[in-house]
């Protein structure tokens, strides 16, 4: 067994994007596939390492790029400036992540009938919006996601099963926002579940998160529990 990984370029209209893929070359042919969406700083080592870890579990993993080849924020202000255009124009966000899904499907290792999209923070919002477009994928996993719904997708039913992994004390989402997405997913006929971790803030899966004033703090127990919940979900949807 050896994990093969590399970058791959793809396009969204005129924007050149750079994804990262990983798979175990001990297996041949297509395999269940995970699309991974990064947090607000851009595609980085965090999601690339998640791709490798998922490859070790037998999946083909593809870490997408929302911003453009080589584009990455280095401060809170830069990260916010990169993310904000997508929050302001959710149709733009949905177009960009659909381009990643299409690029993923063009690879020779992806089983198009067995795709799950997962994301962290801003990336969680991105994969939830992908599900909201009604795409036919198996599931979506959102780790400490931004949960507020877009204005442009009101009536589409959600085909993907949804797993929300949420810090109960996450300041990025009010209790009203958490309640609203539960109502939304129910109205859109989604098969959904919410795991809420007590005494847990935003970005709880990221060991580098250590800014209590901003509300981003790593929580090792919630990290482990959410990863286990993810594995259980993948076993279910890929069965």
Domain CATH for 135: 3.40.50.1820
For residue 139, what are the contacts with CB-CB under 8 A and spacing of at least 6? 116, 117, 160, 161, 162, 163, 233, 234, 237
Write down the pLDDT at residue 28: 86
The beta-strand segments (E) located in the chain are 3-12, 15-24, 31-37, 60-63, 110-120, 139-143, 161-167, 192-197, 210-211, 216-217
Q: Report the predicted TM-score, pTM, of the whole model to 2 decimal places.
A: 0.97
For helices 76-88 and 90-105, angle between their N-to-C axes, nearest 10 degrees: 90
In this prediction, the residues of the chain whose per-residue pLDDT falls under 50 are none
DSSP designation for 234: H
Write down the pLDDT at residue 154: 79
| Residue numbers of the domain that contains 66 | 3-237
208, with CB counted inside 10 A (0-12, 13-18, 19+), is: exposed
Q: How many CA atoms lie within 13 A of 156 on its CB side?
A: 17
Distance CA 186, CA 45 (A): 35
Write down the pLDDT at residue 1: 72
For residue 190, what are the contacts with CB-CB under 8 A and spacing of at least 6? 131, 157, 158, 160, 161, 162
Write down the pLDDT at residue 14: 92
For residue 75, what are the contacts with CB-CB under 8 A and spacing of at least 6? none
Strand 139-143 relative to strand 161-167, pairing: parallel
**Coil, strand or helix: which one is 124?**
helix
Task: Tell me how many domains the chain contains.
Answer: 1
Q: What does the pLDDT look like over 23-50, one tens digit per residue? A: 999 988 999 999 999 999 999 999 999 9
């Amino acid at each position: 067994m050896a994990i093969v990984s590399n970058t791959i370029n793809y396009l969204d209209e005129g924007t050149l994007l750079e994804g990262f893929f990983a798979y175990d070359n001990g297996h041949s042919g297509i395999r269940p596939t995970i699309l991974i969406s990064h947090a607000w700083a851009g595609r980085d080592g965090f999601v690339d390492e998640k791709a490798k870890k998922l490859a070790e579990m037998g999946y083909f993993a593809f870490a997408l790029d929302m911003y453009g080849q080589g584009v990455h924020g280095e401060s809170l202000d830069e990260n916010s400036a990169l993310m904000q255009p997508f929050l302001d124009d959710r149709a733009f966000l949905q177009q960009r992540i659909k381009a990643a899904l299409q690029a993923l499907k063009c690879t020779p290792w992806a089983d198009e009938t067995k795709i799950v999209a997962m994301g962290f923070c801003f990336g969680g919002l991105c994969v939830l919006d992908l599900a909201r477009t009604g795409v036919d994928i198996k599931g979506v996993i959102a780790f400490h996601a931004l949960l507020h719904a877009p204005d442009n997708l009101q009536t589409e039913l959600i085909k993907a099963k949804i797993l929300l992994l949420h810090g109960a004390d996450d300041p990025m989402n009010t209790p009203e926002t958490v309640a609203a997405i539960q109502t939304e997913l129910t109205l859109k006929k989604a098969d959904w579940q919410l795991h809420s971790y007590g005494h847990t803030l935003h970005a709880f899966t990221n060991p580098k998160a250590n800014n209590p004033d901003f509300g981003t703090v790593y929580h090792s127990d919630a990290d482990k529990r959410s990863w286990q919940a993810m594995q259980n979900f993948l076993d279910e949807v890929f069965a």
